Structure 1
Amino acid sequence: MDLKAHIRAVPDFPKPGILFYDISTLLAHPAAWKETVDRLAKVIAPFKPDLLAGIESRGFLTAAPLALELGLGFLMVRKKGKLPGPTVPYTYDLEYGTDTVEIQEGAVQPGQRVVILDDLLATGGTLSASVELLRKVGGEVAGGACIMELSFLKGRDKLDIPFESLLQYDD
């Protein structure tokens, strides 16, 4: 199945000059979505995860059903101030400023093998920050995976973990 045929390209969103790859159309097609989850399951199997982490917010859509299918736990990596209770933050640099991601305290046990998922890898900043956050709490980040990768942005080069993507966009 050609999964790219189920992903809608939206020009000038969220601002002029950006081409946004929308997975809403993929999610709306049951056979394509099932195929996506099945393919992700195959690419992360070699990482032998104990736990899947989804990056806010489309990473939740990717990681949660995959965790359910594989019988694994799921945790959310969210922007600062979005999780209840005590959290563990990690602040990282952006091109202009900083951002912070958090997980709930106790969500990862030391030594647990975690795979991080999102819908898209672009510059790699948020995924790299998520790796550091999970390591900060003692998680062993076994790998990462996304549905799509904007390979021309070279986000993969920022990662020091094994990484897989189902689809690559070269421009």
Structure 2
Amino acid sequence: MNQTIEELTMIESHLRELSELLISVVNDGASIGFLSPLAHSAAMNYWQNALDQNIILLVSKMDNRIVGTVQIHLCTKQNGKNRAEIAKMMVHPQFRQKGIGRRLMQKAEERAKKEGRTLLVLDTVEGAPSNHLYTSLGFVQGGRIPDYAASPFGELEATIIYYKQI
């Protein structure tokens, strides 16, 4: 399979595909801000409003199908122009363990550097497989917050805050 990573600046032509990806990962248990089962209308609404001038969306495609995404949220505060937050890093359940998440994160770091960012931050649910990915990429655990957010199935879970100086 041929994998490419590209930056999307418009969502409209990818709306259905992005919505299906979001539904798949949430219904599979990914804790990315939504509860399962995720309605198609809620996924569509999210993506219709996902981009603005301070959000960079990278997508991973396998054989021209979107199988993963990551967002770079550029901090706009006067005292935070050096940092960005990594958000909504997701890989379709059928395409995990193929290095897609790693490549997305590497591209996100490169893209953040192009924007002059020197610090990346992110959070993820404690115990999720993504914790291994982030630490293997050099992210450092900055802290743990108990009962931070509900899992896709409604149970409160702790989150781990990570950072990386780039």
| TM-score with structure 1 setting the length | 0.30
Relative contact order higher in (CA < 8 Å, ≥ 6 apart): 2
